[in-house]
Amino acid sequence: MDGRYSRKEEMHPQLLDLNHMITDERNWFAKKDDHNLGDEKKLELRLGPPGVEDWSVTDAHKNYKSSQKASHKRSAPAPVVGWPPIRSFRKNIASSSSKQAPVSDSQNAIVSNNEKMVKNCQKGFFVKINMNGVPIGRKVDLNAYDTYEKLSVAVDQLFRGLLAAQNDTSGVRINGNHEHEKPITGLLDGNGEYTLVYEDNEGDRMLVGDVPWHMFVSSVKRLRVIKSSEISNISRLGNKQEKSKV
Amino acid sequence: MTSSFPEEVLEHVLSFLTSQTDRNAVSLVCKTWYETDRWCRNRIFVGNCYAVNPRILIRRFPDVKSIELKGKPHFADFNLVPEGWGGYVYPWVVELARAYPSLEEIRLKRMVVTDESLEMVAKSFNNFKVLVLSSCEGFSTDGLAAIAANCRNLRVLDLRECEVEDLSGHWLSHFPDSFTSLESLNMACLVSEVSFSALERLVARSPNLKTLKLNRTVPLEKLSTLLKRAPQLVDFGTGAYSAEFRPDVYSSLAGVFSACKNLKSLSGFWDVTPAYLPVINNVCSQLTSLNLSYATTQSPDLTKIVSQCCNLQRLVVLDYIEDTGLNTVSLSCKDLRELVVFPSDPFIGDVDVQLTEHGLVAVSEGCSKLHSILYFCRQMSNSALIQISKNCPNLTCFRLCIIEPRAPDYQTLEPLDTGFGSIVQNCQHLTRLSMSGLLTDRVFEYIGTYAKNLDMLSIAFAGDSDLGLHYVLSGCDRLRKLEIRDCPFGDKALLANASKLERMRSLWMSSCLVSFGACKLLGRKMPGLNVEVIDERENVNSIPEYAPVEKVYIYRTVSGQRFDAPDFVRIMGKDKDAVYNLS
């Protein structure tokens, strides 16, 4: 931008002469390549408190130029007011519809169709999962599963090796040697050595498996694998018989 | 000339001119023609409610039956115009009520409409027939109740995408039992449930009902009851289209749809249960317009439907249709004129939906009558744009939104200048263009050179310098509406083309580089323009003149500055007390 407005200069003569500007085509084309921002220093001005978006001319121009060079594609674009240009009632179509999906026993096609819609709309829902006795936690993508059984199998696969490594005090570990690895079973029915619990969106610790899967997915914040002996500290929503319903 | 034939003959001749533009042109020929036109013109269109005022209107046109008013600028649709900016219809209604007691039609777009205004409309016009509110706000269902209760001859109540304070659905029950003139009812944007029996009785006693667009609360199971009462419907919008599948409900619905021999347009389909979609199979071939933009179901379901719509002219759909579905459209819908594809998940960068530029190219290839496109997608290439421009030389409206701002040609990583350049070069009838993606000043050079019929242009995150804006303002002879956001355009181009602004309806620039000083100068030097600086910053009065404004909205007016503006809107360069009395 080519403005040269400083308080000392007389604004009027330069800007009043509109005709001069219109006919002087050369001016336009010469300036085309002139991105000299030297004069912009006069225009630098912090218009708001530090931290607030700075609308000085220099910075604004810099932003445009640098983003032109960047040809990267961000996976999650920063939210911009009024962009993309759609009306507000069109903004939540994908998410609001999945919540209203009818659950019907007779038409499995409909149910799975809508569940698929949910998956399509929430790509990659990762939650942290920690296991007692294992110092480093993992992350699991809940969208990759649609039943508690599948989640349980995944948890077993995630931690089986790590748990064995922790318990092996001999210090000797040969790659590929899975002799000492015990499968982690009974995570959901309370019969195993370990049980799967989760923290919900209200901060409460809950037993995994009591509510329908989609309800669990919508309220879970993180997962934990704890020793079954510690369960008495955790509230129960239902009894053991109902837990296997998915 | 003035004595060559009597006024009555001239009046009769002019009555055949219905277009506002033609009427405006004839009124400029001579005094006699001006006078004749003003006495017999009874349909009025005001594109910007602040360009003129009721007093001037009433003085010129003594007999008005139908009026259309538009308020806020287009970017208000995307929340860029702060609440309270203006666009109030009440002052107009007061004057219209006094001057035109036989007014029959009011159409408003992007205006603030209060319950008070609606009550006044309901009580002031004995023969009131048509109320169309598009993208309006400020009223509640109480206002609608007043309309329902008092407008004995109402034919059209059309609420398009309005923001209504929905207190209850009781308003519908205010239509008296003696009310039978309804032809069109669109309540799709309302949230509350209306009494179904009241709705059913209303439909049953309205033999001329042609358009019925329900809101989401009317359940699928009740649709057949309604449709049985109105088999003459031409335009129907369902409510929420989801329910547990039941064969009896299905066959009943399929039956009533089949009986609607005049049905040409369908919409609604919120939360669609795909199993119920095939009930419309028998009417698909009748359809000229289909709006599935709330039908959140997958491509196969959508494709099955559109494949049967051989006479379709207008399709509005979500990106769930994917490229494959659009390919089917290109093969099946040979009469297609207008295509709109909305994004299902606009704020996610990567989605699982396979909708790319290929879908649009396919439709452009197969549908030779295509003239209007609104397309949201996540990637575009110059070669695709060039292909589209060659396939559709008759395009009149091309609006492309690539979701990521400044996204380049995804194949070559170059700007999309040549692609859009090809559009304006090959599509000589283009009147409306919206651009997106990575664009330099070059594209504006193309636009200024070739887009001679362009009427409205929307630009975002584009250009390098004032040169870009200069190309557009100096080159696009027919340009009337220009809206720009987040572009490095500033004072120089604006001031150099100041006179052009008086030949346009309006110019919107937000998050650009136009300074306070330039706005003040423009406002002072151009009495025929209102230069509104819209700036909500707290310290706005201490910001130097050379600093950029947040937003500026410039429009021509014969009404002088307005006095209903909030404190974050400053009409620049005008003496606050002066009112220009130009007429």
For residue A58, give Cα distances in angstroms to A32, A44, B264: 17, 7, 55
A28, A89, A125: which to substitute to probe chain B, counting the most B Cβ within 10 Å?
Answer: A28
For residue A213, what pLDDT is reported?
A: 86
For residue A36, what pLDDT is reported?
A: 40
Binary contact (A47, B537; C-beta < 8 A): yes
pLDDT digits (tens, 9 = 90+) for B344-365: 988 876 778 999 999 999 999 9
Q: Least CB-CB distance to A93: which of B294, B348, B525?
A: B294
pLDDT digits (tens, 9 = 90+) for B156-197: 999 999 999 999 999 999 999 999 999 999 999 999 999 999
Nearest CA distance, B251 vs chain A (angstrom): 17
Query: Which stretches does DSSP call E strand in B310-417?
Result: 314-318, 338-342, 372-377, 397-402
- Rounded mean pLDDT, B384-409: 97
For residue A124, what pLDDT is reported?
A: 65
Binary contact (A101, B496; C-beta < 8 A): no
Closest residue on chain A to B466 (Cα): A1
Closest residue on chain B to A21 (Cα): B496
Closest residue on chain A to B499 (Cα): A18
Are A98 and A161 in contact, with CB atoms under 8 Å apart? no
Name the residue with tokens 């006078």.
B35
pLDDT > 90 in chain B, percent: 93
Classify each residue of A87-110 as buried b or exposed e, where b means 16 or more C-beta atoms within 10 Å of its C-beta.
eeebeebbeebbeebeebeebeeb
Binary contact (B460, A85; C-beta < 8 A): yes
For residue A211, what pLDDT is reported?
A: 86
A-chain residues near B518 (CB < 8 A): 15
B-chain residues near A61 (CB < 8 A): 488, 513
Name the residue with tokens 């048509």.
B130
Closest residue on chain B to A36 (Cα): B465
Binary contact (A89, B189; C-beta < 8 A): yes
More confidently predicted of B229 and A33:
B229
Is the pLDDT confidence value at B319 over 90? Answer: yes
Intervals of chain A under pLDDT 70: 1-78, 95-124, 168-180, 232-246
Structure tokens at A39: 């004069």
CA distance A193 to A228: 6
Residue B354 contacts A where some CB pair is shorter than 8 Å: no
- Rg of chain A over CA atoms, in angstroms? 30
Q: Phi and psi for A140 in degrees, rounded to 5?
A: -130, 140
Q: Least CB-CB distance to A113: which of B274, B405, B464?
A: B274
Length of chain B in residues, anyone?
583
Are B75 and B483 in contact, with CB atoms under 8 Å apart? yes
pLDDT digits (tens, 9 = 90+) for B500-540: 999 999 999 999 999 999 999 999 999 999 999 999 998 88
Residue B551 contacts A where some CB pair is shorter than 8 Å: no
CA distance B128 to B66: 10
B248, B293, B296: which to substitute to probe chain A, counting the most A Cβ within 10 Å?
Answer: B296
Closest residue on chain B to A74 (Cα): B349
Smallest Cα–Cα separation from B342: which of B375, B298, B300, B390? B375
- Rounded mean pLDDT, B564-580: 78
Q: Least CB-CB distance to B490: which of A1, A97, A101?
A: A1
Binary contact (B515, A28; C-beta < 8 A): no
C-alpha distance across the termini of chain B, in Å:
25
Closest residue on chain A to B437 (Cα): A68
Binary contact (A101, B245; C-beta < 8 A): no
Chain B residues 356-385 with CB within 8 Å of chain A: 376
CB-defined contacts A:B, below 8 A: 200
The DSSP secondary structure of chain A, one letter per residue, reads ------TTS-HHHHHH-HHHHHH-HHHHHHHHT----GGGGGG----SSTTSPP--HHHHHHHHHHHHH-----SSPPPBTTBS---GGGTTHHHHHHHT----SS-HHHHHHHHHHHHHHS---EEEEEETTEEEEEEEEGGG-SSHHHHHHHHHHHHHHHHHHHH-TT----TT--TTPPP---TTTS-SSEEEEEEETTS-EEETTSS-HHHHHHHEEEEEEEEGGGGGGSB-SS-HHHHT--
B-chain residues near A18 (CB < 8 A): 495-496, 498-499
Contacts of B226 (CB under 8 A, 6+ apart): B199, B200, B203, B212, B214, B218
- Rounded mean pLDDT, B415-434: 98
Structure tokens at B269: 């389909």
Half-sphere exposure of A242 (CA within 13 A, CB side): 9
Binary contact (A84, B353; C-beta < 8 A): no
Smallest Cα–Cα separation from B277: which of A109, A116, A105? A109
CA distance A19 to B413: 39
A-chain residues near B408 (CB < 8 A): 71
A19-33, B101-115, B569-583: which range is least confident on average?
A: A19-33
Q: How many CB atoms lie within 10 A of CB A232?
A: 7
A-chain residues near B486 (CB < 8 A): 80
Residue B191 contacts A where some CB pair is shorter than 8 Å: no
- Rounded mean pLDDT, B438-467: 98
A-chain residues near B351 (CB < 8 A): 120, 123
pLDDT digits (tens, 9 = 90+) for B3-56: 677 888 999 999 899 899 899 999 999 999 999 999 999 999 999 999 999 999
DSSP state of B539: T
For residue A234, what pLDDT is reported?
A: 52
Residue B414 contacts A where some CB pair is shorter than 8 Å: no
For residue B349, what pLDDT is reported?
A: 67
Q: Phi and psi for A149 in degrees, rounded to 5?
A: -60, -45
Closest residue on chain A to B513 (Cα): A57
Closest residue on chain B to A19 (Cα): B496
Nearest CA distance, B271 vs chain A (angstrom): 5
Q: Phi and psi for A5 in degrees, rounded to 5?
A: -110, 110
For residue A69, what pLDDT is reported?
A: 40
For residue B292, give Cα distances in angstroms to A25, A118, B241, B257: 50, 19, 11, 17
For residue A43, what pLDDT is reported?
A: 35
What's the gap between Cα B112 and its chain centre?
A: 16
Give residue B243's identity as a one-letter amino acid code.
A
